[in-house]
Structure 1
């Protein structure tokens, strides 16, 4: 495997939203955490490549919750210099309700969150200008979905400008129907996002849900994304691993056998982090998928989206050999 010492350190930024999380029964004792798909990827990416210091691009308030969240991200090695502050807004919030049978349901309060104001912030244009010096910008469909339509246009235009400057754009659809007006609305906007993307790291189930399909072959999913201009496609297939397709080449990266699956939260987010970590070290696509599978297999053996640091340390050590 490649060593971090052989390659010039990459500059990677991740655009998204992190929310306050409440977990437990309503009007009872609840645990407070924070979470979000792109933030999960940023944390694991930082852990996999110590010193990389991925930048997180979002908007937060000027409140205690926001400050403590930023402090925790910095403790994980994430660069927060591109986190914009919106003084009169707060972070979004969601609650995880767990019934006596262990089934989870989610409730969201994010329609007036600071992150929705990202593109309207007075300093956003400066952030985009700074990102022109980066190697890669990663975001998810959720990063786009939470924005008002006029700001979706602005974000996509910003990504186009970055791509023209030589920045690679990586995306995961992370399709969540409740964030979109309709399935056709989601297809239209995510299609535009794919058209400005170089790398797509998608989940087969999400793509089927988006298109109203069932068990679409990974090759068909990859062909569709290639037709939109995506050069490098990875289709995550759960325990089966991942199928990758790039130019005229394609292959399958087998999944890691896991006997004790505890919680699949952040499986896809951690795969993306492992993939991007290997990408930042100059590895080929099949190797990137291997490390994505390996990290995701470790994460799903523990409760919660962000597992203890010591549980990921050995993968970091293996990658650097």
Structure 2
């Protein structure tokens, strides 16, 4: 049975509950709904929900506080492996608040100064790396890299090189967030290390536009020719998705969603369904289709993690 490890941060999510706030006359206060989310964790959850037979594991650090305990219980409810979610004695999870406008676009505020996930690398011993090396896939993102304390990044790269040498498939989604990096040059240096070690890359055109000034999927493809990817999937919002595998180009037209509620986790849910499908031996066309359908469903709901029953019922109708 396949084992997929995702590396990164889970945060406490606070979002404005539109349904409850619409009935309130007091505009000076807002009712917030609390949940848990994080880009790579979202990917793991949607992968597991879409393909329950696959094993998805989270690699991170939390604290011993009540939120951390609730977070671990949430992961277990989603059947995400927690053997490598370490607990810090003096740190806690990060937190973010999110609001969406009438088009579903998001505004975030973050509080992650004391996030335990920033200091996860000292927990990852050689014994832990040996166990991760028995897995099939290791997935991380640009946010995963940005969160790690800068002095610990050499430990991460050493770990990643060991996993790759052991035959683990390395997967990277740039997921660029400018405010998390000291300079664009620092982000470029780290991203290009990630690209050089990755077997599969899942970039969005918007990541490259912000960081490199690259504006089209074709330009992203040209940039990526300097790296040795086995598979390259270029996401571009509602525009066509381009995928390259073994010298062949695949094009997939996205059906626009008319009822966009919240675009949070659109890319994460796409990643999860796509990677799950590929691990499950589905061809690229089928993987792109189920991934696009998953993302389209998710953005019609509030929050990064949509109701489980509704998502599961939807996705079961889409699978062959």
TM-score by length of 1: 0.90
1:5 corresponds in structure 2 to none
Deviates further, 253-262 or 43-52 = 253-262
For structure 2, the residue ranges without an aligned partner over 5 or more in a row are: 17-26
**Distance in 1 of aligned mates of 2:185 and 2:102:** 36
Q: 1:33 is paired with a residue of what secondary structure?
A: strand
SS, match of residue 68 in structure 2: helix
Tell me which residue corresponds to 1:21.
Answer: 13
CA-atom RMSD, angstroms? 2.2
Structure 1: gaps spanning 5 or more residues: 1-8
Write the mapping of 1:39-118 to structure 2, written as runs, cut at 5 A.
39-96=41-98, 104-118=106-120
Q: Tell me if 1:126 matches 2:118.
A: no
Partners of 1:89 and 1:112 within 8 A in 2: yes
Q: Which residue of 2 aligns with 1:303?
A: 302
**Are the equivalent residues in 1 in contact too, given 2:105–2:262 (CA < 8 A)?**
no
In structure 2, C-alpha distance between the alignment counterparts of 1:261 and 1:244, rounded to whole Å: 25
- 2:234 and 2:199 map into 1 onto residues whose CA distance is 14
TM superposition shift of 1:80:
0.8
Give the whole-Å Cα distance in 2 for the aligned partners of 1:163 and 1:111.
Answer: 31
Q: Who is 1:203 aligned against?
A: 204
Note closer, same or farther for the CA distance 1:155–1:28 as it changes in structure 2 (3 Å cut): same
Sort the Cα spacing of 1:271 and 1:241 in 2 relative to 1 into closer, same or farther, 3 A.
farther
Whole-Å separation in 1 of the counterparts to 2:55 and 2:318? 17
**Aligned position for 2:154:** 153
Please give the secondary structure, in 2, of the residue aligned with 1:82.
strand
CA 144–96 in structure 1, closer or farther in 2 if over 3 Å, else same: same
**1:53-84 deviations in Å (ceiling 9; x for gaps):** 30011001011110111101110111111111
How far the C-alpha of 1:284 sits from its partner, in A, is: 2.2
Q: How far apart in 2 are the matches of 1:39 and 1:211? A: 27
- Report whether the alignment pairs 1:282 with 2:274: no
TM-score by length of 2: 0.90
The offset of 1:208, in angstroms, is: 1.2
TM superposition shift of 1:102: 8.8
Separation in structure 1 between the aligned mates of residue 283 and residue 103 of structure 2, nearest angstrom: 43
